[in-house]
A and B are shown apart, each in its own frame.
Chain A
Amino acid sequence: MSLILDIAGLRVSLRRGGHLVRDVSLQVATGQVHGLVGESGAGKTMIAKAVLGILPDAVRVSTGSIGFKGTDLLSLSPRRFRALLGREIAMIPQDPLTGLNPSRRIVAQMTDTLRHHLGQSRGEARGNALRLLQEVQIRDPEKVLDRYPHELSGGMRQRVLIAMAFATEPSLIIADEPTTALDVTVQKQILRLIRQMQERHGTAVLFVTHDLGVVAKICHQVTVLHTGQVVEQGSIDHVMSNAAAPFTRALMAATPRYDQPADALHPVPEAVHQTLRDAARTFDGRNP
């Protein structure tokens, strides 16, 4: 198992001062799914955006490195970085509708990537697009190729995006809450599909989610974030059964479960949040 993604001491800061990600380190190896868990504002999406080089203008990486197969992505020229994106690093977005261009047929959007990154001819690319749709088990793949995004269901659109993400055989896929917009039964199918594809292609996946249930089912490794800090990191077995951090344990107790009656639910105590906010403040005091 070789290391694909090696984030070390990553600090993401607002240009006007203050930090959003506070010295986060994490590694993802070939064939592994690494879950990045936290609530809104915890910094999980910022980390994903830093890897993809799409941080908003007001925000920058101030220290740290993002190693990708031995190269620090932050040291690459914009041109070399662009050549890597889409080909070696792909992404599955949260909202399948905004991830697709509404005015172009599926076939055009799928063959773009293949033609641009792999230099395939139009016919070759169409053949490969069809094969990919078959691989993600879309019914009537021939017909789907000629459809527009709005003509497909949410689950089908997400399947198309998964096919597109795997099209160039990337080493790393960033999945940003890929199932939050879906019904539970569809969510299960999509999770299964991502797992199957990822195992078959040996792809490393950084899986961003707020749902501990989803993490338990699909991730090998987990990093739990709060206020941009790592509060817990380790194998899924460790985090689910022996979580050490009070926040991880509180989050578990605050997650409703259909198999447990109402009185088993305990909101996260305010003190747990406050301790972590204080730690963030101390960090900022030391690192202005």
Chain B
Amino acid sequence: MTGPLLQVRDLTLSLPDRSRAPLFGRPPLVDIVNGISLDLAVGQSLGIVGESGSGKTSLGRCLVRLYPPTSGTIRFGGTDITDASEAVMRPIRKDLQMIFQDPQSSLNPRRTVGQIVAQPVLALSVETDRRAALKRADAALDRAGLGHAFAARYPHELSGGQRQRVGIARAIATEPRLIVADEIVSGLDVSTQAQILALLNDLKQDMGLSLIFISHDLSVVRVLADQVMVMLGGRVVEEGAASAVFDHPRHAYTRELIDAVPLPVIDPEWLNAEQAGGGTKMAEIKGQTVLVTGTSRGIGKVFVDQLLAAGAAKVYAATRSGGGSHADNRVVPVKLDITSATDIAAAARDCADVTVLVNNAGINHNSKLLATDQAGAAAAEMETNYLGTLNMCRAFAPVITDNGGGAIVNMASILARVNLPLMGSLCASKAAVYSMTQGIRAELASQGVAVFAVLPGAVDTDMTKDFPPPKAAPADIVAEVLAGMQAGEADIYPGDMAKGVSGGLAADRPGVIAEMAGYV
């Protein structure tokens, strides 16, 4: 077989949110695991880290098909097991084992250790003869460093570390190709933990085992993982080789997690040091009062809906006309033309409870910089895109600070970093927005306001219908912005095009500029 042992694409798990269930009817669904993709090669180990509620345990259970995924695909050893029936899964299960968090509750107290370890061997027909199965169990117990003398004992006679070794013996008894281990050392003493970690490392090397190791403890993950995935709110915020992620974390959330781990080293500054990450803090959506500009269509409209779904307490939906209505009573329509000083002052007065400002409104005249018939376009674009956004920030920064801090999100564009001559005038105005956002971020750094610049690629809206490259759906863009905010990414690059161009600019700047020039 070539290709990865485990291949996961866009895996999503949604479960009913009973805390928000209506009196009658079904509770709304909430995404526990959201769009996860991963590849795991034979003999490789992947560490999944995250805090409680990050979705790491649910993801692990989806991977061994204890939970049925809502969408996406899981391929194991080349077979699509996403919706595989139990009959199809049975022969696969001997290759795909799981070790659970709590050895106490995952071992049957009325069976001997030998019976417990032999159980999957028989049930999955690795051996059909009972005696042969018990013999295999003995070998697995030896392998797990417990010794087959333990086969006659019962779980309650064992210490925590010994019980966890039984869990390991049970998982390796069927000689699997992949083991998913979920927080298996979290309740153990340091000296026992070190032994279990050493054992797993040996098994991995001797049996050519692939391993998915789930833990909240970054230090423990470092011991076992070749690759690391950092999860937050059901999504992956950072992934890569373990050494790269731990030594040079790119993401603010990863840095925060790493900085929070107390190393056994004296560092008088550690307790009082705020997280690293250049002053951009994470922004929660839940419970916030958000004002979004330009909500009559496109991205702005989608923003309103997704903010509501993410649990915003109130959303001021601003449009130039002030019209529009929404089925959700948390939405308050606001009349706001961001080029009007009077409108902005009135909005800052009327919406005094705002904690998050999303500056989405903008215009695009699709104008080249030297086109003689479009002299007014540059001025109009600067007036709305740059000055309008700046004036909104000026008016609402004190409002947000007064309300105890929050966030400002400015929609720039990937074209702020490279000019697309087809609409050179728009690009210049977006570059101004991007630069201004960085300045405001620095000015507000100490006041509890997180400032985000969003640099999307082409988005599929009316405004970009003449734009040639591939476009992303507004819903995907907004979802990535909200995830980026909650993860504390200062500059958010939603969509493949944005990430591609941003990566391209780092690797081959002249090449990207030349390609953009080709669109004239």
Contact = CB atoms under 8 A, between A and B. Distances in A.
Interface string A247-288: 000111011111111100111100001000000000000000
Contacts of A258: 218-219, 221-222, 246, 258, 261, 263
A258 B257 CA distance: 11
A218 interface: yes
Contacts of A139: 404
B260 A210 contact: no
A273 B222 contact: no
B239 to A, nearest CB: 16
Interface string A195-231: 1000000000000001111111110000000000000
B248 to A, nearest CB: 12
Overall SS of chain A's interface: helix
Given A39-B189, A218-B271, A240 B197 contact: no
Interface in B188-220: 189-195, 197-198, 201, 216-220
Contact of B194 (A40, A216, A240, A265): A265
Interface residues of B, number: 41
Interface stretch (A79-87, A96-104, A181-189): A181-189
B266 A216 contact: yes
A152 interface: no
Contacts of A262: 201, 222-224
A84 B234 CA distance: 48
A217 B273 CA distance: 12
Contact of A257 (B197, B263, B272): B263
B222 A267 contact: no
Interface residues of A, number: 41
A241 interface: yes
Nearest to B404: A139
Contacts of A254: 190-191, 193-194
A157 to B, nearest CB: 14
B262 to A, nearest CB: 4
A191 interface: yes
B243 A236 contact: no
Nearest to A266: B194
A115 interface: no
Contact of B263 (A259, A265, A266): A259
A258 B243 CA distance: 9
B214 to A, nearest CB: 14
B256 interface: yes
A240 B264 contact: yes
Contacts of A135: none
Interface in B422-466: none
B222 A261 contact: yes
Nearest to A183: B51
B327 interface: no
B222 A237 contact: no
Contacts of A147: none
B190 A236 contact: no
12 contacts: A183-B51, A185-B51, A188-B262, A237-B266, A240-B264, A251-B191, A252-B264, A258-B219, A258-B261, A259-B247, A261-B222, A267-B195
Given A262-B201, A265-B194, A265-B197, 15 more contacts: A39-B191, A185-B51, A185-B256, A210-B190, A211-B262, A212-B264, A213-B261, A217-B267, A217-B270, A236-B266, A251-B190, A256-B194, A256-B220, A259-B263, A267-B194
The 7 lowest CB-CB distance pairs between A and B, nearest first, are A213-B262, A268-B191, A39-B189, A267-B194, A254-B194, A183-B51, A256-B219
